[in-house]
Amino acid sequence: MATLLQVRNLTTQFFTSSGTVRAVDNITFDVDEGETVAVVGESGCGKSVSALSILRLVPWPPGKIIGGSINFRGQNLLEMNDADIRRVRGREISMVFQEPMTSLNPVLSIGLQLTETMQHHLGLSPAQALKRAAELLEMVGISEPKRRLAQFPHHLSGGMRQRVMIALALSCEPKLIIADEPTTALDVTIQAQILELMKDLTKRLGVALVVITHNLGVVARYADRVNVMYAGKIIEMGSAQQIYHQPHHPYTLGLLASVPRMDQPRGTRLIPIDGQPPDLTRLDGGCAFRPRCRFAVERCAQEFPPLENVDSGHVSACWRVKEINELKNAS
Partner 1 sequence: MTNATTPFVQVRNLKMHFPVTDGVMIQTTVAQVKAVDGVSFDIAKGETLGLVGESGCGKTTIGRCILQLEKVSEGEILFEGTDLTQLSQKQLVPMREKIQVIFQDPYSSLNPRMKIGSILDEPMRVHRIITDKVKRKERVRELLSICGLDPRFADRYPHEMSGGQRQRVGIARALALNPQFIICDEAVSALDVSIQAQVINLLEDLRDQFNLTYLFIAHDLSVVRHISNRVAVMYLGNLVELAEGNELFDNPTHPYTRALLDAVPIPDPQAEAERAHSVIKGEIPSPINPPSGCVFHPRCPLAVDQCKTDTPKFRETASGHWIACDQV
Residues 6+ apart with CB under 8 A from 176: 4, 5, 31, 72, 92, 93, 94, 207, 208, 209, 210
One symbol per residue from 112 to 151: x for binding partner 1 (CB under 8 A), - otherwise; what is it?
Answer: ----------------------------------------
Judged by CB under 8 A, the residue of 144, 274, 284, 303 near partner 1 is 274
Helix (H, G, I), strand (E, B) or coil at 110: helix
Say if residues 98 and 30 touch (Cβ distance below 8 Å). Answer: no
Stretch that binds partner 1, among 3-11, 76-84, 154-162, 170-178 (CB under 8 A): 154-162
Judged by CB under 8 A, the residue of 172, 205, 220, 327 near partner 1 is 220
One symbol per residue from 199 to 218: x for binding partner 1 (CB under 8 A), - otherwise; what is it?
Answer: ---------------xxxxx
Judged by CB under 8 A, the residue of 196, 303, 311, 326 near partner 1 is 196
Judged by CB under 8 A, the residue of 146, 154, 203, 261 near partner 1 is 261
Q: Measured from the CB atom, is 66 or 197 closer to partner 1?
A: 197
Residues 6+ apart with CB under 8 A from 86: none
Contact between 256 and partner 1 per CB under 8 A? yes
Judged by CB under 8 A, the residue of 112, 221, 246, 328 near partner 1 is 221
| Minimum CB–partner distance for residue 44 and partner 1 (Å) | 9
Q: Measured from the CB atom, is 28 or 215 closer to partner 1?
A: 215
The conformational region for residue 250 under phi > 0 = left, psi -120 to 50 = alpha, else beta, is: alpha
Contact between 110 and partner 1 per CB under 8 A? no
Q: Estimate the crossing angle of helix 126-139 against helix 158-170, to 10 degrees.
A: 130
| Minimum CB–partner distance for residue 79 and partner 1 (Å) | 35
Task: Tell me the number of residues near partner 1 by CB under 8 A.
Answer: 47
The residues with which 330 forms a beta bridge, in sequence order, are: none
Q: Measured from the CB atom, is 46 or 90 closer to partner 1?
A: 46
Q: Measured from the CB atom, is 48 or 115 closer to partner 1?
A: 48
Judged by CB under 8 A, the residue of 219, 307, 317, 321 near partner 1 is 219
Rounded distance between C-alpha atoms, residue 323 and residue 27, angstroms = 25
Helix (H, G, I), strand (E, B) or coil at 243: helix
Judged by CB under 8 A, the residue of 1, 108, 150, 271 near partner 1 is 271
| Residue 83 burial (10 A CB sphere; 0-12, 13-18, 19+) | exposed
Rounded distance between C-alpha atoms, residue 110 and residue 149, angstroms = 5
Contact between 192 and partner 1 per CB under 8 A? yes
Rounded distance between C-alpha atoms, residue 12 and residue 200, angstroms = 33
Helix (H, G, I), strand (E, B) or coil at 231: coil
Q: Measured from the CB atom, is 74 or 267 closer to partner 1?
A: 267
Contact between 269 and partner 1 per CB under 8 A? yes
Contact between 56 and partner 1 per CB under 8 A? no
Q: Measured from the CB atom, is 64 or 214 closer to partner 1?
A: 214
Say if residues 56 and 7 touch (Cβ distance below 8 Å). Answer: no
Strands (E) located in 73-205: 75-76, 93-96, 176-180
What is the CA 202 to chain-centroid distance, rounded?
15
Q: Which residues of the shown chain bind partner 1 in the complex (CB under 8 A)?
A: 42-43, 157, 159-160, 187-193, 195-196, 214-221, 223, 240-241, 244-245, 254-263, 266-267, 269-274, 276-277
